[in-house]
């Protein structure tokens, strides 16, 4: 029997523990930023109705931090590939068998690559700064090529991926700092801090719901290292450190970027811009500088897709190894030891997603994720504290259960603020997952067609 910090099952397929605190934080921050703020600042300003949009980033950071502390405790205690899948598997096995982890994989196998599709779409939108008259076919051919390049770059041993990720992280920071510097070089306080009449009236609280959806969407990625727990050095330190540092750092980055952009033009102009970063740099430093910055933003978008597929491809891999998903996803590349089947599958879904308008689809998938992942994971932390009190926890949530309560209330607020169509579609998707699970469980003679199998993987010998 292994010690309490190591999974019991011995595997021939093993991943390399090569990611430390610095590179883990880089992975999280690259995924968190990406193309997000460069395309969502106008949406945030429009939703909040003025420069008070900065509050949306603060609210998003509070929710991200509270939820991040849930991830930190669970991830440090159970550092396996798959993140939420592992936590739900361990917590809910006592009563519902494999239902919850199955539903999570069902949602994530589609949600993760489709969210990566938005990064590709945003990247191509900024590419149109150089080629404003691109037609339908060129746009989608470029999207397919970009997806193929990302997949090829990930098709190698994790040590190479780590080096590439750190390099892309540096480029991401340069692009953010560059846009912020351009904004502050021609900054007008009257634009950034003059609020419209009634800015904090009834409309503010309506807009805050939409703003929080945008804000938390941009912060998503603080949990990327949890999906590659098998590849972290000293996971008890790296997991919580990478999550906490990345959330705090990105809050300041987003606030700095938001204020600098709002100081360049009236907020109404910002709200209507489709490539706000290019507009800010062009107004401040001219077309040539805007062209350089646009290239960096394109690379940043590319980097977010890169790290998203890196973490996401580990999710079905872990589930398949535990026989909760199709066995083909459990295969590791014979030479480079990474889950190549899962990576290729998600790459294909990402490519397909670039052909569609994903705005409402993303809302639907986020709504489904809140139920199957965010809220379920908070419950998992509470359940595991009661069911497995002897589980080694290198990090225990600060001020427990306050962060859990804040995260729960925040996710409920985000969920009810989503569009009616997204709530309906997400509900349909979860119901479909339940139907598929019943068929799968019957075929595999698993619960509810057999007694539950309890396997406390991360507990040591009594």
CB 112 within 8 A of CB 312: yes
Within the chain, what is the greatest distance between any pair of CA atoms? 68
Which residues, 6 or more positions from 198, have their beta carbon under 8 angstroms from its beta carbon? none
CA distance 310 to 143: 18
* Residue 8, pLDDT score: 42
Q: Which residues are paired to 19 by β-bridges? A: 232
- DSSP H helical ranges for 313-419: 314-321, 340-353, 359-369, 376-387, 402-417
Instruction: Return per-residue pLDDT of the chain as tens, 462 residues.
Output: 334 333 444 343 455 667 888 888 988 887 787 778 888 898 889 888 889 988 988 999 999 999 999 999 999 999 877 788 889 999 999 999 999 988 998 888 888 888 888 889 888 888 988 988 888 899 999 999 999 999 998 887 665 566 766 777 788 788 888 999 999 999 999 999 888 887 787 778 778 888 888 889 889 889 888 887 778 888 888 999 999 999 999 999 899 999 999 999 999 999 888 788 999 999 999 999 999 999 988 888 887 788 778 877 877 887 778 788 777 788 888 887 788 888 998 999 899 888 887 567 667 777 889 999 999 999 999 999 999 999 999 999 989 999 999 999 999 999 988 888 888 888 888 998 899 899 889 988 999 999 998 989 888 644
Output the domain CATH number for residue 426: 1.20.1740.10
The interaxial angle of helices 287-312 and 36-48, nearest 10 deg, is 100
Domain contains 14: no
pTM across the whole model: 0.83
Domain contains 7: no
* Residue 413, pLDDT score: 92
CA distance 48 to 51: 8
Domain contains 5: no
Domain contains 450: no
* Residue 283, pLDDT score: 92
Cα torsion 216, 176, 82, 143 to 10°: value is 100
10 Å CB burial of residue 401 (0-12, 13-18, 19+) is: middle
Domain contains 449: no
CB atoms within 10 A of CB 162: 21
Q: How far is CA 406 from CA 61, 92, 167, 399, 411, in A?
A: 12, 22, 35, 11, 9
CA distance 426 to 371: 9
Number of domains into which the chain is organized: 1
CB 277 within 8 A of CB 201: no
Domain contains 311: yes
10 Å CB burial of residue 166 (0-12, 13-18, 19+) is: middle
CB 351 within 8 A of CB 148: yes
* Residue 361, pLDDT score: 64
CB 139 within 8 A of CB 356: no
Range of the domain at 296: 21-444
* Residue 250, pLDDT score: 92
* Residue 97, pLDDT score: 92
CB 244 within 8 A of CB 65: yes
Phi then psi dihedrals of residue 334, to 5 deg: -65, -30
Rg, Å, the chain Cα set: 22
Nearest to 43 by CA among 263, 271, 283: 271
Domain contains 2: no
Domain contains 52: yes
**Reduced DSSP (H G I as helix, E B as strand, rest coil) percent helix, strand, coil of the chain, to 5:** 75, 0, 25
CA distance 266 to 270: 7
- DSSP H helical ranges for 49-131: 54-77, 84-96, 99-127
* Residue 462, pLDDT score: 41
pLDDT tens per residue, range 170-211: 887 888 889 999 999 999 999 998 888 877 877 787 788 888
* Residue 362, pLDDT score: 66
């Amino acid at each position: 029997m292994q010690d309490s910090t190591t999974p019991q099952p011995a595997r021939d397929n093993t991943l390399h523990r090569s990611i430390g605190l610095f590179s883990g934080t880089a992975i999280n921050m690259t995924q968190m930023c990406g193309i997000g703020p460069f395309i969502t600042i106008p949406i945030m300003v429009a939703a909040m109705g003025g420069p008070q949009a900065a509050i949306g980033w603060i609210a998003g950071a509070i929710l991200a931090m509270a939820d991040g502390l849930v991830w930190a405790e669970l991830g440090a205690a159970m550092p396996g590939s798959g993140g939420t899948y592992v936590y739900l598997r361990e917590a809910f096995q006592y009563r519902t068998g494999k239902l919850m982890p199955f539903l999570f994989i069902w949602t994530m196998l589609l949600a993760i690559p489709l969210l990566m599709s938005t990064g590709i779409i945003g990247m191509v939108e900024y590419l149109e700064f150089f080629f404003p008259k691109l037609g339908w076919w060129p746009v989608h051919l470029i999207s397919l090529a970009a997806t193929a390049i990302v997949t090829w770059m990930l098709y190698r041993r994790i040590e190479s991926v780590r080096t590439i990720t750190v390099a892309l992280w540096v480029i991401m920071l340069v692009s953010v700092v560059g846009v912020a510097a351009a904004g502050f070089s021609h900054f007008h306080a009257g634009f950034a801090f003059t609020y419209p009449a009634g800015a904090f009236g009834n409309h503010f609280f309506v807009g805050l719901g939409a703003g929080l959806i945008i804000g938390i969407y941009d912060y998503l990625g603080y949990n990327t290292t949890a999906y590659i727990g098998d590849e972290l050095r000293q996971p008890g330190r790296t997991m919580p450190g990478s999550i906490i540092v990345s959330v705090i750092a990105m809050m300041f980055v987003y606030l700095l970027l938001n204020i600098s952009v709002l100081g360049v033009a009236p907020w109404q102009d910002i709200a209507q811009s489709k490539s706000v970063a290019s507009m800010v740099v062009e107004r401040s430093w001219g077309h040539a500088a805007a062209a350089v910055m646009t290239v960096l933003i394109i690379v940043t978008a590319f980097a977010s897709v890169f790290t998203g597929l890196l973490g996401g491809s580990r999710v079905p891999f872990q589930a398949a190894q535990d026989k909760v998903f199709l066995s083909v996803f459990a295969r590791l590349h014979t030479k480079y030891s990474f889950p190549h089947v899962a990576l290729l599958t998600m790459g294909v879904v990402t490519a397909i997603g670039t052909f569609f308008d994903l705005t409402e689809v993303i809302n639907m998938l986020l709504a489904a994720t809140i139920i199957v992942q965010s809220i379920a994971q908070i419950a998992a932390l509470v359940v595991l504290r009661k069911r497995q009190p002897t589980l080694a926890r290198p990090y225990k949530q600060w001020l427990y259960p306050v962060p859990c309560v804040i995260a729960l209330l925040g996710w409920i607020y985000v969920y009810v603020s989503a569009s009616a169509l997204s709530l309906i579609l997400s509900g349909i998707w979860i119901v479909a997952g339940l139907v598929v699970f019943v068929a799968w469980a019957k075929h595999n003679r698993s619960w509810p067609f057999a007694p539950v199998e309890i396997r406390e993987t991360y507990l040591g010998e009594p």
